[in-house]
Amino acid sequence: MVVMQSSIMTITHNDHTYTDIFILTLAFHPSHFHTAMNFQGKSDWLKNQFNAIRIPWEDGHIKIRVNRETLLNDALDAILSIEEADMKKIFRFEFIGEPALDAGGVAREFYVMVCEQLFNADVGLFSASTSNQMCMQINHNSGIANEFHLRYFQLAGRMLGKALMDGHITPVRLQVRGLRRL
């Protein structure tokens, strides 16, 4: 049995080093997850792993309130203020001034809108891949475009990881090399 405990991930970008803690702890036997497994099998395995570490609603949940006009900055502040262990809790989202019951639709809208803004080439964090214009890659000059680029990269990782854990689809297409680093 292989156990991958929470580990520290270090990213060096434009002479800055950023360290974050990988939030998932997965335990599996190597024979249960091999390359011969079909996509559905891999998908089911991953869902089971997420369900095993997810904290039930009654044991605690997180409410995130954001303003549409300042969505990206509000998301940055809210998501990065969450402790590592709390990333496994169920999130409920609310847009300030918009009464709504989050039965999944508000969460889906939150993930889509934040990812659209975060991965927009005009923000300067990501740029179109040179090998495939439909895919995004890290912009090597992101530090020039945004002085807080490393915090936004941390937000990108947490957003994609949490969306994956919660079963939400995001409008993000990363190049294969970027996907391998996740």
Listed residue (155, 163, 164, 157) closest to 178, CA to CA: 157
Boundaries of domain holding 108: 2-180
Question: In whole angstroms, what is the distance from residue 107 CA to residue 45 CA?
Answer: 24
Query: Is-contact 125 156, C-beta < 8 A?
Result: yes
Structural domain count of the chain = 1
Residue 108 in tokens: 């889906």
- Least confident span in 4-18, 84-98, 161-175: 4-18
Read off the pTM. Answer: 0.75
So what's the pLDDT on residue 23?
A: 38
Residue 37, pLDDT score: 80
pLDDT, residue 159, reads: 93
Nearest of 123, 113, 182 to residue 152 by alpha carbon? 123
- Residues 25 and 47: their CA atoms lie apart, in Å, by 13
What is the predicted pLDDT for the residue at 133?
A: 78
State pLDDT tens for residues 89-130: 999 999 999 887 666 689 999 999 999 999 998 899 988 888
State how far the Cα of 68 lies from the Cα of 71, in Å rounded to an integer.
5
Q: Does residue 31 have a pLDDT over 70?
A: no
What is the CA 10 to chain-centroid distance, rounded?
Answer: 16
Higher pLDDT, 162 or 26: 162
CATH number (domain holding residue 83): 3.90.1750.10
Q: Backbone phi, then psi, for 77, in 5-degree steps?
A: -65, -45
Q: DSSP assignment, residue 131?
A: S
